[in-house]
Structure 1
């Protein structure tokens, strides 16, 4: 009785348009057909992905089709030339292998001696899967460094030019038709000073976005705030956020590239001033003690503003029903702040520079300088390798050590920036206290936001225990030799004795 031939599917993936146009897929296809014929296998399907990156393939239609054929038993093995042609993400490769194994199928590589139906082939597959992801990460880092170098040289890397421009090679040029619409948009905004009015007028005149959609107040505002129109294109401004979406990068990572201007810098600046004047700051009623006040039982106390009995704002403990009026708490904290920090210390001491902050600032600048040197070395190394002046082995060894050092410096930089930010916050709080003392402003005269800014820089926690309020200080000026302040009294009559 003649045995049935093994049914195999052939996986073909090419990641660049150049590979597609060079007919690389047809070469892969013929090679797989010849290999299957030499083993007396039947090729029942080809899964071809043209111009698809190996970083993420599970969501591709051809990948879903292949997995469906595996689950239904249509194919018993997946044949490919090299594992990197399947994908370069180790986790996805392992998921594919497990999916095939669970349904009695396996992976077969033509050139790498991989056959996951055997223990040796499975071990070989796992090793190469890890290597494929490592190579992808190295390649991505090299490409990223090369792109940054070329951005510094004034080359534009963007898939689609902003409205009003078109991409020619690695440069941006004004679009013959769109430039007139963009210039008109600025003129209309200077006249009407309203985004919706400008959008409505552009639509009324028959103009549309590049997609064919009508202009909206959001699209008009975005285009008016884009500095490309005045001849300054900002590259590398955004990046991909983990989990999807975009995130704005730190300004230090941006690249400014000069392009032909559509409007004058003066016009652009006038428009920005108008936009800024239209922005109305949102007022928030800040509760100065929110999150700081705790009951002696350890429960965070919350503010109840609408007490049915007397409508007097009070802080309550949900656990033991301990309570205190907001007015009483504010008076007690004000006595401590004014007594220990305003009356005790003159304004000159409050405004005195903190030597530790200056030391952190100097160290921060030193670390930034070192990071810049390492980045320049990395960029130079990439250029040398691309120009063929150093070997791959030398490039790899130097790149790995420099990349590791860059990561260490960036971690150190983040820690220093966080520490400096805390010091800057305390400095702002000291200035606020000094200003209050100089102007003879009492604690009760400060608004909730001002109180909150001061408290969160100096106070770690406020604890209420019956008739005693304890303030655990997070930071105090060195002239005050204490970290814990307390005031006692009877809270029932609204006073602290």
Structure 2
């Protein structure tokens, strides 16, 4: 198989000599050699931010090479080197799946050409667990650094707060009105009444305008009043995303001064939720609110939907349907069965052992290279002592090798730490599976929006023939124990 190596190293890592393009390329070549693959190209994104890599010219070149079958897979050191946000990871995975190419990540023992690799990728991406941890760590580190430098960390503060020396503090003048809003709502339980009361008392917004019920509701629901400030949730707007909201995996929540007690905030928002629920069911539900609308079809390809005041997905043409709760139960059951597969666990463990062996080989190779460099340095010193290399020119010959030696020593330390982590993580797949089971066991506590997000993340199509349900899921590998056909379709039966 012809493969390519995809390398992205941050400018900071290169500057500090904690990481290098050469290290990643060497790792990729060794991995390809262990698999018997041919490395035919290298895509170098040195110094490129991982926030968005999918439109970089090197990435576009890679896409074209995959489309024309010049390469059948790419090797990366870790998923974070490919992209740092879930949406782009899913786009990459979809592209490789559509063009029958493999995505291989060394650190995660991930190879989408195998069933274990496909499952692991979907699990990390759909639940956003992996991406969220990496993103939060980097965001928090960046925010802490900027705060130490006395710089503003970005974003806007809502009514009742202000920024002083890059810190969010209470604006005492506005805070008085913001607290009054909560008290008035508890008294009247109407946002329009609160707005009217504030306007009659002569209070205006920060922009000098009259208060509206929309503004009141937004401030009442904002968690910063109870000491939790939402950050990094908006970016550049576009036609597809006019409000510029970022994926929720990139959102960050930071502590800030409290305006009211958490108990009062919860009391107010409990009233708002009850009011929203009451009005919600008096109006026709939006189609996208239902979990499987747009994905569920009959065997003839007709879309199945829920009619007003009904709890069943029905097909107008075929005249049959299925209860929405029944479909949700079968969907959840199939995902849980997939997660507890002994076959998947066995396959992942085998992959993990291969990675351990590769890591040992990497360390041995690096130590061998280090020994060669040390010998070269010793020879240079001997030649200098003998006068064969003049002192004036000695530094020119000695320094580059010495720098390579130091970088290699640092690389060996990193590899040894990675090896230790791999040895401790032989059961990592089972841990992830167990956490995922816990997540799905908590399914009934998720709101419909959260459930819908999961369905969209892992579902291509669901087909119902009035007896059985066929789930066509994204990137999930075919497993015989789930009665899957060779195309990776999961079949469930309504009893």
- Structure 2 length-normalised TM: 0.35
Higher helix share: 2
Q: Which has the larger radius of gyration?
A: 1
RCO higher in 1 or 2 (8 Å CA, sep ≥ 6)? 2
- Structure 1 length-normalised TM: 0.35
